[in-house]
Amino acid sequence: MNSILWADDEIDLLKPYTIFLQGKGYTVTTTTNGQDAIDLCRRQEFDIVFLDENMPGLSGLETLNAIKDLRPTTPIVMITKSEEENIMEQAIGKQIADYLIKPVNPNQILLTLKKHIQGKSIIQEHTTIDYQREFSKITQLIDSAQTFEQFAALQQQLVKWELTLQDSNSAMSEVLKMQKQQAEAAFAKFVQKNYADWIASPDRRPLMSHEIVKKNVFPILDQQEKLFFIVIDNFRYDQWKTIEPLVTDELTVTEDQIYCSILPTATQYARNAIFSGLMPLQIQQMYPEYWIEEGDDEGKNIYEQQLLQTQLDRYRRKETFTYTKINESSFCEQFIKKIKNLQAPLNVVIINFIDMLSHSRTESKMMRELANDEAAYLSLTLSWFKHSPTLQLIKTIAQQGYKIIITTDHGTTQITDPIKIIGDKATNVNLRYKVGKALSYNPKEVYQMTDPKQYGLPSPNVSSKYVFAQAGNFFAYPNNYNYYAQYYRNTFQHGGISLDEMLIPLITLEPK
């Protein structure tokens, strides 16, 4: 039973209210002055406090201060005859839960109680009911999805409910998790059936990595608008929806789109495809000086600026551009100061924090504890974005009147189930895809590309092939199998086939 403390020097006149609330199942403790209210709060904890602003002795504001010191998390509702703005501002500044003007009616009081005491449980109850209503529609969409657009819509629905239910009913979250697994299985079959045709037939494929600049950046430049093209490495659609409310304070989302990362969903392939406007095999053939092989020690993304220039040159575009890679907060802060002096119509920014977060979570026991599941991973993303200079960077860009595209090269997925594979020493180390000439695996467990050229991918050797893990699977070698399976299970990885790796955000914003 919820408990109420009500302090008012005219409490006797409020007897009908207390009887009404007791009839609704609340226990009501009353007092006529601030000092008694403080003493009562010192002795016991109440679920909520109603506090008259104008009482003899200690004022309502003075009583509010004292109770907040004793019970900082207890919601306090100020009730007053006064509508003076300064009194309201002082009360709000003390973080009151609500503010009511006399005379109040019983339904106002009851609504306040439901909002501040039962609000969370009411929201959870209604959220659960809403999801139960949507359950069959989502299941039907999983069973019937035959196009990329349908799977993109499915991804948006799943992300919406994942974010809605993450603080809600655990039973419904488990049901949604099973739906996500069904969706992953359906999407893996869809990719296996259609991916080769997408590469061969440009008119029949969804928007893919190597088409982003041509189809989304160039049209904005053609309108003589100045643009920031921001690529956040390893950035999932649910991470975008998590930070979106912070971005839209100063920017309007004009397009919230999902596009398809090429395979492998890894920087060397997908991000270089974005900047070059080419599939990886074409990069290797046309610009071998900018292609890094799997076994090379060089960084896999060190030629992005040069690759973007080749794309501009091929399309005979004369725009100048700036290129900035941000790996740490101090550099971001320095760059913010330079924005107002930029003259180029196109400004490219690479932000690597999300990628560092996912990798550090694999390598650091502490980070595993901080991001032990999807909800915690999203919470860390939100905390970083809210408190890092990245948010200020975007706001500063908006204040200078730039249009902004925010996107990524690929997402990540939380891996759970190891599958065995055997390869020679030249085989790459990625857990979600393997490329090599002597791979041994169960073909029923993977998506295989035995002719890489057909898929726009280079072959390190004549007999090389690519294989991809799907959904929550990851590759593990038989040697020390149990150790590595345990070590990498539940980490966030990329390179393979899943909704979160391949169906990724492409967001266009403009200043309000």
The per-residue pLDDT for range 199-242, each reduced to its tens digit, is 999 999 999 999 999 999 999 999 999 999 999 999 999 999 99
Whole-angstrom Cα distance, residue 282 to residue 276?
9
Whole-angstrom Cα distance, residue 54 to residue 297?
73
94 pLDDT more than 60: no
Please give the structure tokens belonging to residue 174: 């488990």
Place 123 in a pLDDT band, splitting at 50, 70 and 90.
low
Range in 260-264, 462-466, 467-471, 498-502 the model is least confident about: 462-466
What does the pLDDT read at residue 201? 94
Q: Exposed, middle or buried: residue 85 (CB in 10 Å: 0-12, 13-18, 19+)?
A: exposed
245 pLDDT more than 60: yes
What does the pLDDT read at residue 73? 82
What does the pLDDT read at residue 358? 66
What does the pLDDT read at residue 246? 93
Paired strand residues for 350: 231, 325
The per-residue pLDDT for range 28-63, each reduced to its tens digit, is 999 999 999 999 999 998 999 999 888 888 988 889
What does the pLDDT read at residue 384? 87
What residues contact residue 55 under an 8 Å CB cut-off, 6+ apart? 7, 8, 9, 32, 33, 34, 63
Q: What's the predicted TM-score (pTM) here?
A: 0.80
Whole-angstrom Cα distance, residue 100 to residue 315?
64
The per-residue pLDDT for range 126-177, each reduced to its tens digit, is 677 788 888 989 999 999 999 999 999 999 999 999 998 886 656 788 889 9
Average of per-residue pLDDT values in the chain:
90
The per-residue pLDDT for range 301-322, each reduced to its tens digit, is 899 999 999 999 999 999 999 9
What residues contact residue 477 under an 8 Å CB cut-off, 6+ apart? 420, 421, 422, 423, 484
Please give the structure tokens belonging to residue 216: 């989304």
Q: What percent of the chain has pLDDT over 70?
A: 91
Helix, strand, coil tally for the chain in percent (to 5) = 50, 20, 30
Whole-angstrom Cα distance, residue 464 to residue 448?
11
The per-residue pLDDT for range 432-489, each reduced to its tens digit, is 999 999 899 999 999 999 999 999 999 988 889 999 999 999 999 998 899 999 999 9
Contact of 505 with 257, CB cutoff 8 Å: yes
Which is higher by pLDDT, 295 or 347?
347
The pair phi, psi for residue 171, each rounded to 5°, is -65, -45
H or E, element range at 39: helix 34-43
Contact of 499 with 151, CB cutoff 8 Å: yes
Place 370 in a pLDDT band, splitting at 50, 70 and 90.
low
What does the pLDDT read at residue 169? 58
510 pLDDT more than 60: yes
The per-residue pLDDT for range 148-158, each reduced to its tens digit, is 999 999 999 99
What does the pLDDT read at residue 120? 63
Whole-angstrom Cα distance, residue 150 to residue 141?
8
What does the pLDDT read at residue 296? 75
Cβ count within 10 A of residue 351 = 23
What does the pLDDT read at residue 229? 98
What does the pLDDT read at residue 375? 82
Query: Which domains are present in the chain?
Result: 3-117 (3.40.50.2300), 121-199 (no CATH), 207-413+501-511 (3.40.720), 416-489 (no CATH)
Q: What percent of the chain has pLDDT over 90?
A: 64
What does the pLDDT read at residue 110? 87
